[in-house]
Amino acid sequence: MHGIGPPLVTPCTEQGDVDYAALRELVGWVENRGVDFLLACGSTSEAELLTAAERKRVVETVVEEASVPVLAGTGHPGLRETLDSTAAAVDAGADAALVVTPFYYNHGHDTLVSYYRAVADSAEIPVYLYSVPGYTDVQLTPKTVAELASHPNIAGMKDTNGSLGSFIRTQQRVADGTFDLLIGTANILSQALSAGARGGVLALANLYPRKCVKIHELYESTPKRAQSLNAELVDINTAVTTMYGIPGLKWAMRQRGAPAGYPRSPQQPPDEHAKQHLASLLAEVSKT
């Protein structure tokens, strides 16, 4: 997986049902704006709020509709669930599996290495590690990633630690191989590309796919322009991630004509103050 891929939001009706027709439309909406690959059932997809059957159908729907590679989120707290979900992604036709760190219980280096090796040994598609300690409270350290990168079926990692320093230390340990290190935080996309990232899996690419792709393209020829464009998107990215989360992102996407649907319970729609703030940020971006 190289370039820019959105962790697709999962459109839901206002009653909370997955809207598969809207999901198909969304695949076309982002693909028409130049993204390089798609992630189904990631954190931004509200995957942890979907049933196992819904996750399987979401992956199937995205694969059926997509003309770019599809990465499927298959990680769970337990190994057996992860193996089952990964096998279902294989059956659906996904190109690779994104496996979040096992969470809820605390796990150390040796446990994580054993877990990921078991997943990679079993999987019939390449496995990408996923470190997102803001949600899981589990972080893949550069040492752990370097050890796992030697496995022939572990192809890369989505790093959403939010720390450029940690990203650089990880990159230094895997730079000699073909390991696809992807940044998961749009605020530092241009800096991560400068540090050796192969691309990004970015929630913001649901909202501004063209601009995220443009940053990646500009970096090769005019890195200062890439940095400038990235800086213009920091406020809106912060708003639709850490500030207002997926409900805010879906609301902002609907304002731009994207078939994003509504958040699933227990998440709640943004309040009026949040909507006004988001609207002002969208207006600012539209000026650039």
Residues 177-197 have pLDDT tens digits of: 789 999 999 999 999 999 999
pLDDT in tens, 69-111: 999 999 999 999 999 999 999 999 999 999 999 999 989 999 9
- Give the type of residue at 27: V
- Give me the percent of the chain exceeding a pLDDT of 70: 99
pLDDT for position 23: 98
**How many CB atoms neighbour CB 262 within 10 A?**
19
Sheet of 127-131, strand order: 3-5, 199-201, 180-183, 154-159, 127-131, 96-100, 70-73, 38-40
> Is pLDDT above 90 for 112?
yes
Task: Establish how many alpha carbons lie within 13 A of residue 58's alpha carbon, considering only the half-sphere containing its beta carbon.
Answer: 32
> Is pLDDT above 80 for 19?
yes
Please classify residue 257 by burial: count the beta carbons closer than 10 Å to its beta carbon, then call 0-12 exposed, 13-18 middle and 19+ buried: exposed
pLDDT for position 82: 98
Written as one string, the DSSP assignment of 75-126 is: --SSHHHHHHHHHHHHHHT-SEEEEEPP-SS---HHHHHHHHHHHHHH-SS-
pLDDT for position 131: 95
Cis ω for the linkage preceding 126 (within 30 of 0): no
Written as one string, the DSSP assignment of 133-183 is: HHHHS----HHHHHHHTTSTTEEEEEE-S--HHHHHHHHHHHTTTT-EEEE
- Do the Cβ atoms of 153 and 124 come closer than 8 Å? no
> Is pLDDT above 80 for 287?
no
Label residue 204 by pLDDT band (50, 70, 90): very high
What's the number of domains the chain is made of? 1
Residue 20 annotated in active site: no
Residue 158 annotated in active site: yes
Instruction: Go through 60-78 and write b for each residue having 16 or more CB atoms within 10 A of its CB, e for each that does not.
Output: bbbbebbebbbbbbbbbee
pLDDT for position 288: 62
> Is pLDDT above 90 for 286?
no
Q: What is the pTM of this model?
A: 0.95
pLDDT for position 219: 92
**How many CB atoms neighbour CB 84 within 10 A?**
15
Label residue 40 by pLDDT band (50, 70, 90): very high
Mean pLDDT of 204-232: 96
Report the mean per-residue pLDDT for the chain. 96
> Is pLDDT above 70 for 250?
yes
- Rounded distance between C-alpha atoms, residue 29 and residue 20, angstroms: 14
pLDDT in tens, 255-264: 999 999 999 9
> Is pLDDT above 80 for 241?
yes
Q: Which domain covers residue 132, as residue numbers? A: 3-286
Label residue 7 by pLDDT band (50, 70, 90): very high
Mean pLDDT of 257-281: 97
Backbone angles phi, psi at 126, to 5 degrees: -60, 150
Catalytic residue among 115, 116, 130, 219: 130
pLDDT for position 247: 98
Catalytic residue among 56, 115, 158, 211: 158
- Rounded distance between C-alpha atoms, residue 280 and residue 285, angstroms: 9
- Do the Cβ atoms of 65 and 24 come closer than 8 Å? yes
- R_g over Cα of the chain: 18
- Do the Cβ atoms of 31 and 63 come closer than 8 Å? no
DSSP 263: P
CATH number of the domain enclosing 20: 3.20.20.70
Written as one string, the DSSP assignment of 54-65 is: HHHHHHHHHHHH
pLDDT for position 145: 96
